[in-house]
Amino acid sequence: MTEHAEDPRSELERMLDDLFPYRRSMETHRRIPERGADREVLLTDVALMSKAEDAQGDAGRVSGSLYSGDHEHYRFLAQVFEHFAHANVLQRDMYPSATKFEGEIIAMSADLFHAPEPIGVVTGGGSDSLVHALYAYREEAREARGVRMPNVVLPVTAHVALRKGAHWMGIEVRDAPLTPEYVADVDAMSDLVDDNTICLVGSAGDYAHGLIDPIAEIGELARDRGIGLHVDGCLGGFLLPWAEDIGYDVPPWDFRVDGVTSLSADTHKYGYALKGTSVLLYRSATLRARQWFASTDWPGGLYLSPGLAGSRSGGLIASTWAAMVRMGREGYLERASAILRTNDAIKAAIRATMPELEIIGDPLFMTSFRSAVGPSGDDVIDVYLVNDALKKRGWRMNALQLPPALHFCITGPNTRPGVVEDFLADLREAVDYALEHRGEPAASGAMYGFGSMPNGDETLRTVMGGVLDAMHVAAPDG
């Protein structure tokens, strides 16, 4: 790579420095130190790392990920967290406050999403919610209908955590294609349903494009076939109600749709809570009870648990509760309004001034865009080259595939004055860069190329496994 011509480090060293940026400046611990380190020293190091790592997000140059970005809000949540960080909410006799916090998080969410009754659980995140829902439906199908070879029918854009859960639990995933509008094709879903289908899934909105599947139609299909429908509102859940209040056109997606039997929404995204919580709501207590676990004959005692987690920190539940009560409807509305307006501005500018790009659907809170298709049917630019140029200018988009696309999910920090203007100027330049470098391989698209090699998926999975291996070790010496 010519741009590194003056960098004396080897390619491998550069990769290691990217993965372990502190390996040259801080001590690497491979053994618990003999004598405990000084608190002040540790705090200084931690502060140094967090300051460096927050800079890009705080500048408003990151898609998704941060959601609030308000450090005063974070400090307040950390204060609340501190009071119960050490508390194990498994021990409810010791910590009845956890019952208050959790019950109220569920009640407030159920109210927001129009659930007939406040029936739900607080989980450790969106994936956790999705996997638990899938488990409840699998158990329900097994107990009530004798299903032994379960499958789940979902649009191909449904969140990948459902695939992970299905993989772990021996559930077959049946992918339905999308309509030309990039939402679930309900007729195709219908064709995939059989007696072993445990539930349907729809997204509001989907991770890749932020689009809301036709939940009302999927709900009808679910009722026709006598099965449940999980709505994945992990991303959009805590934003869409406010968009609706403001007057945006939000198609029905929550419990107001008859066929919806469960719904997930992430408090740690647009709920503006700390990372590590999500809400999973059920229409019926019977379905929820499918995920309860009780053991009566273990020497360790009677054991009762709502889900996979054993011990959980009271700090997370308390601070999630505090986030919701502190934000209030006014606070949520105000933030949603800024986010939606910012996204509107980006969509409008791309449509008006960047014919090389095509926005995928008409998403509310993110903009997902791909290359426009030329008269020959080919992409007019490589959108991964656009990503290369945006990266160089300090932006962190999410790169998508099938088709190649990028998305910018708008959060609090992106709504700051001047950010959109900077982004649009840089995006225009990035598109020009892609036009000028047409035909050249994109750095950020390199991984994608594996997919079209013979055995490409297998090769790619092996490489990705190696990346995880590399991420779970202490830094090699610098």
Interface with ligand PLP by CB under 6 A: which residues?
Answer: 125-127, 130, 159, 161, 203, 206-207, 232, 234-235, 266, 278
Q: Which is nearer to ligand PLP, 206 or 388 (CB)?
A: 206
Q: Which is nearer to ligand PLP, 95 or 332 (CB)?
A: 332
Provide the minimum distance between the beta carbon of 68 and ligand PLP in the complex, in angstroms, as a whole number: 15
Count of other CB atoms within 10 angstroms of residue 85: 14
Angle at 366 between CA 369 and CA 188, to 5 degrees: 70
Residue nearest to ligand PLP (CB): 126
312, 88 in Cβ contact below 8 A?
A: yes
Provide the minimum distance between the beta carbon of 232 and ligand PLP in the complex, in angstroms, as a whole number: 5
Q: Which is nearer to ligand PLP, 95 or 272 (CB)?
A: 272
List helix spans (H) across 146-238: 160-169, 186-192, 215-225
Provide the minimum distance between the beta carbon of 235 and ligand PLP in the complex, in angstroms, as a whole number: 3
Distance CA 214, CA 171 (A): 24
**426 Cβ contact list (under 8 Å, min separation 6):** 389, 390, 393, 395
The torsion region of residue 313 among left (phi > 0), alpha (psi -120 to 50) and beta comes to: beta
Distance CA 180, CA 365 (A): 20
Q: Which is nearer to ligand PLP, 225 or 269 (CB)?
A: 269
Q: Which is nearer to ligand PLP, 20 or 135 (CB)?
A: 135
Provide the minimum distance between the beta carbon of 127 and ligand PLP in the complex, in angstroms, as a whole number: 3
* CA dist 160 → 12, 173, 354, 448 (Å): 31, 11, 31, 17
Cα-Cα end-to-end distance for the chain: 22
Q: Which is nearer to ligand PLP, 206 or 379 (CB)?
A: 206
Provide the minimum distance between the beta carbon of 124 and ligand PLP in the complex, in angstroms, as a whole number: 8
Q: Which is nearer to ligand PLP, 235 or 434 (CB)?
A: 235
Provide the minimum distance between the beta carbon of 26 and ligand PLP in the complex, in angstroms, as a whole number: 28
Provide the minimum distance between the beta carbon of 271 and ligand PLP in the complex, in angstroms, as a whole number: 11
Distance CA 270, CA 278 (A): 11
* 3 state SS of 290: coil
To the nearest 10 degrees (0 to 180), the angle between helices 383-392 and 419-436 is 130
